[in-house]
Structure 1
Amino acid sequence: MLALTRDDVRLKCKADDWQQALALAGAALVEAGFARPGYAGGLLERERQGSTWLGSGIAIPHGTPASRGEVVATGVRVLQFPDGVAWHDGHVVHLLVAIAAQSDEHLDILRQLTHALGRDGAEAMLARAEDADAIVAVLGHVETPPKLDADTLCLNLPVRSAAELALAAAARLQGLGCVQPAFVAAVASQPLIPLGPGLALVRSAQAVDVPALALATSQAPVEGGLFGVFCLAARGEAHRPLLERLEQLLARGAVAGLKGLSADTTLAVLAGEDGETHTGRVRLLNAHGLHARPAKLLVQTARAQSVPVRVRVLEGSPEAISAASLTKVLGLGARRGQTLVFSAHGETAEAAVAAMLAAVQDGLGESVQPLNEVVQPREVPAAQTEALPAAPEPGVAMAAIPASPGLAVAPIYVLRHPRFDYPEKAASPDHEIGRLDQSLAQAAQQLDVLIQGTQGAKVANILSVHIEMLADPGLRDAALESIHEGASAEAGWWHAIDTAASAQEALADRLLAERATDLRDVGRRVLCLLCDTPLPEPPDTPYVLVAEDVGPSDVARLDTSRVRALVTAKGGATAHSAILARALGIPAVVGAGEAVLQLTAGIELAVDGDAGRLIPAPDPETVRRFERRIEEQARIEQEAYQNRHEPACTRDGHRVEVAANLGNTAHAVDAVERGAEGVGLLRTEFIFMAHPDFPDLKTQIAEYGEAFDALAGRPLVARTLDVGGDKPLPYWPVAAEDNPFLGMRGIRLALSRPEVLETQLRALLMAAGSRPLRIMFPMIKDVEEFRAGKRVFDRLQAEIRAPDVQLGVMVEIPSSALLAASLAAEVDFFSIGTNDLTQYTLAIDRGHASLSAQSDAIHPAVLQLIRLTVEAAHAHGRWVGVCGELGSDPLAVPVLVGLGVDELSVTARRIPQVKAMIRRLGMPQARELASLALAQPTAAAVRQTLETAVAAALEPGQD
Structure 2
Amino acid sequence: MHNNNKELTLSAPLSGPVLTLAKVPDPVFASGAMGDGIAIDPLNDTLHSPCAGVVVHVARTGHAVTLRADNGAELLLHLGLDTVELQGEGFSMLVKEGARVSNGQPLLRYDLDKVAQQCKSLVSLMILTNSQDFQARPITLKSVKVGDPLLHIIRRQGSGAQAEVELSGEERVGHVRVAHRGGLHARPAALIRQTAQGFKSTSQLHFDGKSATCNSLIGLMGLAIGEQDDVQVTCQGPDAEAALQALLIALSTALAEDSHAAAPPPMNRHHREAEAGVLHGACAAPGLVGGPLFRLSAISLPVDAGHHDPAQQLQALDAALSVVRSEIDHTLSQAKKHRNTDEEAIFAAHLALLEDPALLDAAQASIEQGTAATHAWSQSIEAQCEVLQQLGSPLLAERANDLRDLKQRVLRALLGEAWHYDVPAGAIVAAHELTPSDLLQLSQQGVTGLCMAEGGATSHVAILARGKGLPCLVALGAALLDQEQGQAVVLDAEGGRLELVPTNERLAEVHQAQLDHQQRRALQQSQAHTPALTRDGVHIEVAANVASSAEAADALANGADGVGLLRTEFLFVDRHTAPDEQEQSLAYQAVLDAMGDKPVIIRTIDVGGDKQLDYLPLPVEANPVLGLRGIRLAQLRPEILDQQLRALLHTRPLSRCRILLPMVTEVDELLHIRQRLDALCIELGVSERPELGVMIEVPAAALLAEQLAEHADFLSIGTNDLSQYTLAMDRDHAGLASRVDAMHPALLRLIAQTCAGAAVHDRWVGVCGALASDPLATPVLIGLGVSELSVSPVQIGEIKDRVRHLDAAQCRRISHDLLKLSSAGAVRHACHQHWPLS
Q: Give the TM-score normalised by structure 2.
A: 0.59
Aligned to 1:904: 789
Give the alignment partner of residue 320 of structure 2, picking from 439, 442, 450.
Answer: 439
Deviations 1:465-491 (A, max 9, x none): 99976999x99x989997999967879
1:68 and 2:92 correspond: yes
Deviation at 1:906, TM superposition (A): 0.8
Deviation track 1:68-119 (CA, whole Å, cap 9, x = no partner) reads: 2339xxxxxxxxxxxxxxxxxxxxxxxxxxxx99444466xxxxxxxxxxxx
Counterpart amino acid of 2:520?
Answer: I
- Give the letter aligned to residue 587 of structure 1: P
The reply on whether 1:616 has 2:640 as its aligned counterpart is no
The equivalent position to 2:286 in structure 1, one of 392, 405, 413, is 405
* Distance in 1 between residues matched to 2:356 and 2:112, nearest whole Å: 59
Q: One-letter code of the match for 2:435?
A: G
User: AA paired with 2:742?
Assistant: A
Q: Which amino acid aligns with 1:868?
A: Q
- In the alignment, does 2:835 pair up with 1:950? yes
- Distance in 2 between the 1:392 and 1:894 partners? 41
Other structure's SS at 1:618 match: coil
Question: In structure 2, do the counterparts of structure 1 residues 665 and 389 end up closer, same or farther at CA, with 3 Å as the change threshold?
Answer: farther
Residues 385-534 of structure 1: matches in 2 within 5 Å? Answer: 390-391=141-142, 396-416=277-297, 437-440=318-321, 525-528=408-411
SS at match of 1:637: helix
Indicate whether 1:866 and 2:758 are aligned: no
The 5 A counterparts of 1:493-892 are 525-528=408-411, 537-689=421-573, 691-799=575-683, 800-801=685-686, 803=688, 805-892=690-777
Report the AA paired with residue 285 of structure 2: S
Question: In 2, are the aligned partners of 1:888 and 1:907 still within 8 Å (CA)?
Answer: yes
CA 1:940–1:485: 2 relative to 1, 3 Å: closer
- 382-391 or 736-745: bigger deviation: 382-391
* Cα distance change on mapping 1:780 and 1:471 into 2, 3 Å: closer
CA contact under 8 A between 1:412 and 1:605: conserved in structure 2?
yes
**Contact 2:543/2:560 (8 A) holds in 1:** yes
CA distance in structure 2 between the partners assigned to 1:876 and 1:68 by the alignment = 73
Q: CA deviation at 1:531?
A: 11
Distance 1:578 1:605 in 2: 21
Pick the structure with greater CA Rg: 1
1:544 is aligned with what amino acid?
I
Q: Is the 8 A contact 2:91 2:111 kept in 1?
A: no
- The AA in structure 2 aligned to 1:614 is L
* TM-superposed deviation, 1:530: 9.7
| Cα distance change, pair 481–847 in 1 and its aligned pair in 2 (3 A) | closer
* C-alpha contact (below 8 Å) 2:323/2:413 kept by paired residues: no
Matched position secondary structure for 1:947: helix
Alignment partner of 1:563: what SS?
coil
Deviation, structure 1 residue 783? 1.0
Q: Distance in 2 between matches of 1:536 and 1:557?
A: 7
In structure 2, the residue matched to 1:894 is: 779
Check 1:439–1:795 CA distance in 2 against 1; reply closer, same or farther (3 A cut). same
> CA separation in 1, counterparts of 2:327 and 2:571?
15
Mark the CA change 1:620 to 1:755 in structure 2 (over 3 Å): closer, same or farther. same
- The 1-side partners of 2:670 and 2:127 are apart by 61
3-state secondary structure, aligned to 2:442: coil
Tell me by how many angstroms 1:635 deviates. 1.6
Residue type of the partner of 1:439? A
Aligned partner letter, 1:712: G
Q: 1:486, 1:528 → 2: CA distance?
A: 17
Give the conservation status (yes or no) of the 8 Å contact 1:778–1:810: yes
Structure 1 residues 763 and 413, CA, compared in 2 at 3 Å: closer, same or farther? same
In the TM superposition, residue 443 of structure 1 has moved relative to its aligned partner by 6.0
State the alpha-carbon separation in 2 of the partners of residues 532 and 706 from structure 1.
34
Give a deviation string over 1:718-753, Cα, whole Å, max 9, x none. Answer: 101111111111111112111111111211111222
How many residue pairs get matched? 561
**Aligned equivalents of 1:470, 1:436: Cα separation in 2:** 22
3-state SS of the aligned residue for 1:624?
helix
Kept after mapping to 1: 8 A contact 2:297/2:404: no
**Aligned partners of 2:804 and 2:441: how far apart in 1?**
37
**Worse-matched range after superposition: 595-604 or 891-900:** 595-604
Task: Assess if the C-alpha contact under 8 Å between 2:91 and 2:108 holds in 1.
Answer: no
Q: What letter matches 2:767 in structure 1?
A: V
Distance 2:413 2:544 in 1: 44
Contact 1:35 / 1:70 at 8 angstroms: preserved in 2? no
User: How far apart are the structure 1 equivalents of 2:294 and 2:724?
Assistant: 32
**Cα distance, 1:624–1:667 mapped onto 2, change above 3 Å:** same
Q: Distance in 2 between matches of 1:596 and 1:376?
A: 19
> Taking structure 1 as reference, are residues 391 and 886 closer, same or farther at Cα in structure 2, changes over 3 Å only?
farther
Structure 1 residues 636 and 377: alpha-carbon distance in aligned structure 2, compared to 1, 3 A threshold: closer
Q: Check whether the contact 2:420–2:441 (CA below 8 A) recurs between aligned residues.
A: no
* 8 Å CA contact 1:780, 1:786 repeated in 2: yes
Deviation of residue 433 (structure 1)?
11
Q: Structure 1 791/478 Cα, relative in aligned 2: closer, same or farther at 3 Å?
A: same
C-alpha distance in 1, partners of 2:806/2:619?
Answer: 50
Higher deviation after alignment, 812-821 or 560-569? 560-569
Report the counterpart of residue 940 of structure 1 in structure 2: 825
Amino acid at match of 1:739: N
Q: Counterpart amino acid of 1:688?
A: F
Separation in 2 of the partners of 1:782 and 1:33? 60
Paired residue secondary structure (1:68): strand
Q: Distance in 2 between matches of 1:385 and 1:649?
A: 65
Name the SS of the counterpart of 1:767 in structure 2.
Answer: coil
**CA-to-aligned-CA distance 1:847-874 (integer Å, 9 cap, x gap):** 2232223222222222221111111111
Identity of aligned residues (%): 37
Partners of 1:840 and 1:521 in 2: CA distance: 36
Aligned equivalent of 1:198: none
Contact 2:283-2:474 at 8 Å conserved across structures: yes
SS at match of 1:847: coil
Question: Using the alignment, how far apart are the partners of 1:831 and 1:385 within structure 2?
Answer: 58
Residue 929 of structure 1, CA deviation: 4.4
Q: Relative to structure 1, is the Cα distance of residues 529 and 828 closer, same or farther in structure 2, using a 3 angstrom cutoff?
A: closer
SS at match of 1:927: helix
Q: How far 1:797 sits from its partner (Å)?
A: 2.6
Read off the aligned partner of 1:937 and give its amino acid letter. Answer: S
Task: Flag structure 2 segments of 5+ consecutive residues without an equivalent.
Answer: 1-43, 49-57, 63-86, 96-106, 145-274, 301-310, 337-343, 362-376, 378-401
Question: Is the contact made by 2:681 and 2:689 (CA closer than 8 Å) also made in structure 1?
Answer: no
Pairing of 1:248-287 with structure 2 (within 5 A):
none
Quickly say closer, same or farther: Cα 1:650–1:105, change in 2 above 3 A.
same
Taking the aligned partners of 1:483 and 1:630, their CA distance within structure 2 comes to 45
